Amino acid sequence: MEGYSKRQEKVSRLIQKEIANIFVKESLLFDNAMITVTVVRTSPDLSFCKVYLSIFSPGKDSNVIIEAIQKQKKNLRYALGKRVKNQLKQIPELAFFLDDSLDYIDNIDNLLH
C-alpha cells in the first residue's frame, strides 16, 4: 500500500488474521453471520486500526450486525490483545466499518448486463 511503512503493513496483516480468527470462533455473538475481514488500515503510530468487514447474513441487515460488533469492540480488543501480546507492545484501538465494495461491484455488474 502506498504511503504505508513495512511495520504498518505487518501489523495490519497480523490484526486482520487474528480478528478473522476471533470472528470465526465467536460467530455465535453475531447471529451466526459470516463475517470476513476485508481490509485493516493502521495509523502510522500503530495506535488505531480501521477494520473493514464484509458481512453475509441471510435475513439480517448488515448494519445491525456492525452495530452489535461496535458494542463488542472492547471485548474484541481484549481478545485480540491476548492473541498478539507477544508481537505488539500496544494493542490498537479498533473501529469497525462495513465494506460495501462487493455490493458496489455487484451493482456495476448488474448495470452492465
Mean pLDDT of the chain: 86
pLDDT of residue 1: 54
Q: Which tops the pLDDT comparison, 60 or 28?
A: 60
Q: What is the mean pLDDT of residues 2-6?
A: 77
Q: 62 near 101, Cβ under 8 Å?
A: no
Q: 59 near 20, Cβ under 8 Å?
A: no
Return the CATH fold of 6-112: GMP Synthetase; Chain A, domain 3 (3.30.300)
Residue 56's DSSP bridge partners are 34
Q: What is the mean pLDDT of residues 60-68?
A: 85
Separation CA 96–CA 51 (nearest Å) = 5
Grid cell 441487515 in the structure block, residue: 61
46: helix, coil or strand?
A: coil
Grid cell 500500500 in the structure block, residue: 1
